[in-house]
C-alpha cells in the first residue's frame, strides 16, 4: 500500500545559518511504492538563474512525482515571466526576505536551493526551518561548518535533505559505481578525472570568492566526487596546486586546480578542474583492464566503454527529471535519499584540504 506524503509543520521561525551533507546510498527503481499522479510533490525553486530557468523548471515538466508550484527570487521583473510560463499563483511567489512564510503554504512540499554556493547554507537552513524538505544544489556549501549547519537544521526539523549530484542518478555512472564493489577488472590502480570549460566572463559570481566562485567549487566536485564513487573509498591524503593564466579575471579564486588523491588501497586519482580549459573524462585503470566515460558529466550524452568491449550507452530523457523524481520518491515512500547531506559534506572536507595543500605547497593527510 502506498505511503502518504509526509505532513509538514505549519510554522517554524526562520534563521540565517548554513550548510549540509549526505551518504551515497545506492537506489534502484525496483521494489518501491509508485504514487498516483495526484500525489505529486510541490517544488519551489530558490534562485531563478540559468540552472533553474534553462534546466530545472523545464525538467519539472517531465517529472512523474513532483511539479513546479513556487518560486523565490530577488528579481521582481522575472516574476510575471515565470507566472505566465508555468502558471504559478501569486500566493506561491516569494522573495528572500519572506521565504520563511512558505511554512504555511500547503502547495509547497520541497524547497530547492539553486543559488551561488556561498548562499546555499544560509537559505538552506531557512528552508529547513519552514518544515519543508530541502534539495540543495552542489557543491553543498563553502565550508564543512556550513554543511553541518544545514544537516543539523534538516535533522532538527525532521525533513529530508538531498544534494543535487545528478550524475549519481545517471545509469552509466551507476554502472561504474557498482564496479567499485564488484571489481570486474581487478584492483583499481589509477583514476583520471577531469572536468572543466572555458569561461570567458569577467564579472560573474564565479569569480567571487565570497559567493563560492572558482574552479574547485564550480566544477571540481565533479572529478572529486567521481574519484570517490568509482573507487568506493575515501581518500587518505591530497596534493594540490593552482594555475592561473588570466590573473586579471581570476585574482581571488582559482582558474585551474590540479589535485591528486591517495587511497588506502594504493589507488591514485589524478584530477583536474578548470574554468580556463575544456575537459570532460573519467577513466579507471585496473589490474586487468580499464573502463571509463567520456563525457562523464554533461547534461546529456553520457557514454563510455571498457577494455573488454563493453559499451556504456544507456540513455535517459532528462537527468534533472530523473534526479528530482528519485528524490521525490524518497520523500513519498519515506526511504533514504540517494545523495544525502553527508555526501556533500565529505566532498567539502576534501575541498578544504585541497585549498590548504595548494596554499602551503605540501601533501595534506585526511
Under CATH, what is the fold of the domain 37-167+321-340?
Answer: Rossmann fold (3.40.50)
Edge to edge, what strands does the sheet with 66-72 contain? 93-94, 66-72, 41-46, 110-113, 133-136, 161-163
Q: Which of 174, 193, 168, 339 is nearest to 259 (CA)?
A: 193
pLDDT tens, 105-124? 999 999 999 999 999 999 99
Residue 239 has pLDDT above 60, yes or no: yes
Helix ranges (H only) for 79-220 are 79-86, 117-128, 144-156, 171-182, 215-218
* Spatial CB neighbours of 88, under 8 Å, sequence gap ≥ 6: 68, 69, 70, 71, 82
Residue 12 CA, distance from chain mean position: 26
Percent of the chain at pLDDT > 70 equals 90
Dist. CA 88–CA 61, nearest whole Å: 13
Q: pLDDT band for position 39 (50/70/90)?
A: confident
For the segment 187-202, the average pLDDT, to the nearest whole number, is 97
> pLDDT-based confidence at 38, cuts 50/70/90?
low
Q: How far apart are CA 285 and CA 303, in angstroms?
A: 17
Report the CATH fold assignment for 171-315: Dihydrodipicolinate Reductase; domain 2 (3.30.360)
| Choice among 31-35, 163-167, 213-217, 260-264 with the minimum mean pLDDT | 31-35
Q: What percent of the chain has pLDDT over 90?
A: 89
How far apart CA 242 and CA 274 sit, in angstroms, is: 10
Residue 8 — very low, low, confident or very high, per pLDDT cuts 50/70/90?
A: very low
Could you check whether 37-167+321-340 and 171-315 share the same CATH topology? no
Distance CA 69, CA 23 (A): 29
Q: What is the mean pLDDT of the chain?
A: 91
Q: What are the residue ranges spanned by the domains of the chain?
A: 37-167+321-340, 171-315
What's the pTM value of the predicted model, to 2 decimals?
A: 0.89
* Mean pLDDT along residues 29-42: 55
Amino acid at each position: 500500500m502506498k505511503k502518504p506524503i509526509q505532513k509538514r509543520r505549519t510554522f517554524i521561525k526562520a534563521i540565517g545559518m548554513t550548510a549540509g551533507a549526505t551518504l551515497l546510498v545506492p537506489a534502484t527503481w525496483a521494489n518501491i511504492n509508485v504514487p498516483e499522479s495526484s500525489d505529486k510533490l510541490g517544488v519551489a525553486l530558490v534562485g531563478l538563474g540559468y540552472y533553474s530557468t534553462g534546466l530545472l523548471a523545464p525538467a519539472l515538466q517531465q517529472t512523474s512525482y513532483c511539479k513546479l508550484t513556487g518560486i523565490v527570487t530577488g528579481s521582481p521583473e522575472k516574476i510575471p515571466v515565470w507566472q505566465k510560463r508555468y502558471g504559478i499563483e501569486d500566493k506561491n511567489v516569494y522573495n528572500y526576505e519572506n521565504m520563511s512564510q512558505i511554512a504555511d503554504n500547503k502547495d509547497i512540499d520541497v524547497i530547492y536551493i539553486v543559488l551561488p554556493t556561498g548562499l546555499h547554507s544560509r537559505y538552506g537552513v531557512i528552508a529547513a526551518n519552514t518544515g519543508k524538505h530541502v534539495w540543495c544544489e552542489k557543491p553543498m556549501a563553502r565550508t564543512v561548518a556550513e554543511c553541518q549547519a544545514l544537516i543539523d537544521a534538516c535533522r532538527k526539523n525532521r525533513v529530508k535533505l538531498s544534494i543535487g549530484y545528478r550524475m549519481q542518478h545517471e545509469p552509466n555512472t551507476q554502472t561504474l559505481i557498482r564496479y567499485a564493489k564488484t571489481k570486474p577488472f581487478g584492483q583499481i590502480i589509477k583514476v583520471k578525472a577531469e572536468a572543466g570549460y572555458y569561461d570567458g566572463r569577467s564579472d560573474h559570481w564565479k569569480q567571487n570568492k565570497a559567493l563560492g566562485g572558482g574552479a574547485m567549487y564550480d566544477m571540481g566536485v565533479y572529478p572529486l566526487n567521481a574519484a570517490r564513487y568509482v573507487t568506493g573509498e575515501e581518500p587518505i591524503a591530497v596534493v594540490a596546486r593552482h594555475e592561473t593564466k588570466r590573473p586579471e579575471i581570476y585574482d581571488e579564486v582559482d582558474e585551474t586546480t590540479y589535485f591528486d588523491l591517495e587511497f588506502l588501497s594504493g589507488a591514485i586519482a589524478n584530477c583536474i578542474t578548470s574554468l580556463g580549459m575544456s575537459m570532460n573524462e573519467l577513466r579507471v585503470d585496473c589490474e586487468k583492464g580499464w573502463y571509463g566515460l567520456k563525457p562523464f558529466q554533461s547534461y546529456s550524452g553520457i557514454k563510455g566503454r571498457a577494455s573488454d568491449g563493453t559499451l556504456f550507452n544507456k540513455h535517459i530523457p532528462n537527468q534533472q527529471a530523473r534526479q528530482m523524481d528519485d528524490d521525490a520518491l524518497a520523500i513519498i515512500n519515506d526511504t533514504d535519499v540517494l545523495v544525502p547531506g553527508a555526501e556533500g559534506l565529505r566532498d567539502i572536507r576534501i575541498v578544504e584540504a585541497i585549498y590548504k595543500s595548494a596554499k602551503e605547497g605540501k601533501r595534506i593527510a585526511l
